[in-house]
Amino acid sequence: MKRILIILAVILLPFTFHLSPLMAQKEAPDVRHGNREYKKDNFAESEVDYRRGLEKNNQSYEAHYNLGNSLFRQNKYPEAAEEFVKAAQFVDAKKDRQKAAQTYHNLGNSLFAQQQYEKAITAYQQSLRANPKDNDTRYNMVKAMQLLQQQQQQQNQQNQNQQQNQDQQQQQQEQNQDQQNQDQQQQEQQQQQQDEQQMDQETAEQILQALEQDEQETQEKLQRQQGSKRRVEKEW
């Protein structure tokens, strides 16, 4: 089994890969050709060969596993993880611990590259159950744990910042609402004062009109009385 050292530019981890030389009969020529292309770093060509082998036998551990490696080398991490999951379905972890360990190790690497650290840790743990002496897997798992902790801290900080922003927005909204209520109350008070002033003016005008009306009626009454008195004196 050939161990291949993988160093990712961003992650900087000593990832190891295992290219299996074992092949079933139907897909063997395609997988062998894919392996030759893989060793030449022709990963796209090896992907084609492995997929061709899977068309002949979709239950081939070697075709799924090697396809996963080829996809990983092309930075197709989600697709690579899918192939390692499929490959793991055709491995008896109790009977072939080596295959199980290398499959889950590479699955962990694919998940790690996607920053899915919690899932990567689970995959590394499964790999270590099959091979507890694999220091590369242990190292990657510890690194994934560290990055998971950082990721969770960053998420918590983001949640706190988001909560603070929401609280500030809510506080600002409440202040704006209070100001609006105050402005509305002030407007209502001003309107009420204007209404009261208008009512007082209207009342004063009505009273004045009533007084003028009474005065006019009084004058008219006096005039009638004086006219009646003159008529009586003339008759005498």
pLDDT per residue over 155-207, tens digit each? 898 888 888 888 888 888 888 888 889 888 888 888 888 877 777 788 878 88
Please state whether the predicted TM-score (pTM) of the whole model is above 0.85.
no
More confident call, 10 vs 46 = 46
Q: Is the pLDDT of residue 45 over 70?
A: yes
Tell how far CA 54 is from the center of its chain.
Answer: 37
Cβ neighbours of 1 (radius 10 Å): 10
Percentages (nearest 5) of helix, strand, coil residues in the chain = 80, 5, 15
Alpha carbon distance 70, 127 (integer Å): 20
Four-residue CA torsion sign, 211, 213, 218, 223: positive
Nearest to 72 by CA among 4, 1, 165, 130: 4
Single-letter amino acid, residue 183: D
Rounded Cα gap, residues 204 and 125, in angstroms? 94
pLDDT tens by residue, 82-104: 999 999 999 998 899 999 999 99
- Which structure tokens are listed for 129? 């159950």
Dump pLDDT digits (tens) for 122-160: 999 999 999 999 999 999 999 999 999 999 999 898 888
- Structural domains in the chain? 2-152 (1.25.40.10)
| 112 Cβ neighbours under 8 A, 6+ residues apart | 11, 13, 15, 120, 140, 143, 144
pLDDT score recorded for residue 206: 82
Report the pLDDT value the prediction gives residue 9, as an integer from 0 to 100.
Answer: 28
Q: Which two tokens stand for residue 151?
A: 């990721």
Share of the chain above pLDDT 90, in %: 52
Residue 165 CA to residue 154 CA, distance in Å, equals 16
